[in-house]
């Protein structure tokens, strides 16, 4: 295949790390308030939409893997060039670079908004954006293995945070889930679509797969990562639906953080402050993986070093982040981005697999004729 990647052995990673990469890429800023969005579509059957979304990620991951297996030593950007040719392929590459960049911005700007709303209301956006971007620049310049190492520690360190949702369980009202399946299929699927912004991240598989050393073991670790993510989202949704009334949930922007607010220890009164600050360790892998994806695509178009790219990219993101000043602007952006993400994550991989299969059969017939 054209444009195959030449990967040094020192840049490869073991397949088991895909569990941490996929899981860390999906657990980001969306988990802090996805319940309200899904509830508006599917009401108290929102937990079913979460299950459907989890199943959908497994199905799409299968299409992604089948496409990548055709091009074992190539990433999405090279696949585009091979299937569609140089010019059209690069057009699709630009779209995916922009998608990765917008995903990066969405995580960064939403986290800044959470910090300003819950912990430091008077802290300037410019200061938070600059601080986070400097950390990302430092991590990104360390290379892929440093980024993957961060995803590993992010998952391990966050293990102690999620059990805290057990505290609200003593106030649960299981009858809030009844009657089951009151929402129709259309409402459930609409709730699934609303989950798009929350579960983005696993599409990083398109870019990182060629760097996996033992690809024969990749499949099981990818699906385990997706399964772990689905279990966490389902657990949080069930606790939320049984803790809040429907009216309360529609007015609660960050339901997960509100659940953390009732956690109390003798030595900690406001646990949600710790949760918000600790969340930086959870979103950093998101940000680093998205910027790495954008860099890999940019390298297909222009010859640019990693250091030069990260400074230019960060400067643009910093300036754009200053233009979003109100919660209304951020919510509007999230709505449009969520719709875009749905088509890129759930629809495009199926279309791409179809084109890759047709191209493979066409080449096989041509080789037989020759």
Give per-residue pLDDT as tens, 34-66.
999 999 999 999 999 999 999 999 999 999 999
Residue 170 pLDDT level (bands cut at 50, 70, 90): confident
Distance CA 5, CA 284 (A): 26
For domain 12-338+346-354, give the CATH number: 1.20.1740.10
**Contact, 76 vs 207, CB < 8 A?**
yes
Residues facing 265 on adjacent strands: 268
* Among 183, 178, 231, 239, residue whose Cα is nearest residue 40: 183
The mean pLDDT value of the chain amounts to 89
Coil/strand/helix, residue 245 = coil
How far CA 176 is from CA of 47, 52, 223, 242, in Å, comes to 12, 20, 31, 5
Over residues 205-236, the pLDDT tens digits come to: 999 999 998 888 999 999 999 999 999 999 99
- Rounded to a whole number, what is the largest CA-CA distance in the chain? 78
Over residues 294-303, the pLDDT tens digits come to: 999 999 899 9
Residue 253 pLDDT level (bands cut at 50, 70, 90): confident
Q: Using a pLDDT cut of 90, give the percent of the chain over it.
A: 61
pLDDT of residue 366: 65
Residue 5, pLDDT above cutoff 80: no
How far CA 158 is from CA of 88, 97, 153, 243, in Å, comes to 42, 29, 8, 23
**Contact, 182 vs 45, CB < 8 A?**
yes
* Among 169, 218, 186, 232, residue whose Cα is nearest residue 24: 232
Residue 152, pLDDT above cutoff 70: yes
pLDDT of residue 156: 87
Tokens of 31: 């988990």
**Where along the chain do its domains lie?**
12-338+346-354
pLDDT of residue 30: 84
Tokens of 274: 């710790």
Q: What is the mean pLDDT of residues 281-302?
A: 93
Report field, pTM of the whole predicted structure over 0.75: yes
Coil/strand/helix, residue 259 = helix
* Among 277, 268, 261, residue whose Cα is nearest residue 168: 261
pLDDT of residue 362: 81
Residue 367, pLDDT above cutoff 70: no
How far CA 362 is from CA of 63, 71, 164, 335, 367, in Å, comes to 19, 15, 54, 40, 9
pLDDT of residue 119: 86
Residues facing 13 on adjacent strands: 212
**Contact, 204 vs 21, CB < 8 A?**
yes
pLDDT of residue 12: 87
pLDDT of residue 1: 47
Residue 369 pLDDT level (bands cut at 50, 70, 90): low
Distance CA 115, CA 41 (A): 27
* Among 344, 357, 364, residue whose Cα is nearest residue 70: 357
Q: Which residues contact 83 (CB under 8 A, 6 or more apart)?
A: 89, 352, 355, 356, 359
């Amino acid at each position: 295949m054209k444009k195959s990647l030449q990967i040094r052995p020192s840049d490869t990673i073991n397949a088991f790390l895909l569990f941490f990469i996929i899981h860390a890429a999906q657990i980001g800023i969306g988990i802090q308030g996805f319940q309200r969005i899904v509830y508006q579509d599917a009401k108290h059957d929102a937990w079913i939409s979460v299950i459907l979304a989890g199943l959908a990620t497994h199905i799409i991951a299968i299409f992604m893997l089948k496409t990548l297996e055709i091009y074992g030593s190539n990433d999405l950007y090279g696949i585009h060039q091979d299937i569609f040719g140089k010019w059209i392929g690069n057009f699709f590459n630009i779209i995916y670079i922009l998608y990765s960049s917008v995903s990066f911005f969405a995580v960064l700007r939403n986290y800044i908004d959470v910090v300003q709303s819950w912990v430091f209301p008077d802290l300037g956006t410019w200061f938070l954006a600059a601080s986070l971007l400097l950390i990302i620049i430092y991590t990104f310049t360390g290379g892929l293995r440093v980024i993957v190492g961060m995803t590993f520690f992010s998952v391990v360190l966050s293990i102690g945070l999620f059990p805290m949702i057990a505290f609200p369980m003593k106030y649960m009202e299981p009858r809030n889930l009844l009657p089951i399946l009151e929402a129709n299929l259309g409402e459930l699927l609409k709730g699934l679509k609303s989950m798009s912004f929350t579960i983005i991240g696993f599409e990083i598989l398109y870019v990182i797969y060629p760097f996996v050393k033992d690809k024969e073991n990749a499949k099981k670790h990818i699906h385990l990562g997706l399964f772990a993510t689905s279990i966490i989202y389902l657990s949080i949704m069930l606790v939320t639906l049984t803790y809040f009334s429907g009216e309360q949930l529609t007015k609660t922007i960050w339901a997960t953080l509100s659940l953390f607010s009732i956690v109390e220890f003798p030595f900690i009164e406001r646990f949600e402050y710790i949760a918000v600050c600790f969340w930086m360790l959870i979103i950093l892998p998101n940000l680093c993986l998205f910027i790495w994806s954008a860099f890999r695509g940019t390298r297909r178009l222009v010859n640019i070093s990693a250091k030069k790219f990260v400074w230019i990219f960060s400067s643009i993101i910093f300036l754009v982040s200053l233009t979003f000043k109100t919660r209304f602007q951020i919510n509007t952006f999230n709505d449009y981005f969520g719709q875009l993400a749905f088509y890129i994550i759930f629809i495009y991989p199926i279309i791409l697999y179809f084109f890759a299969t047709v191209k493979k059969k066409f080449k096989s017939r041509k080789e037989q004729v020759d």
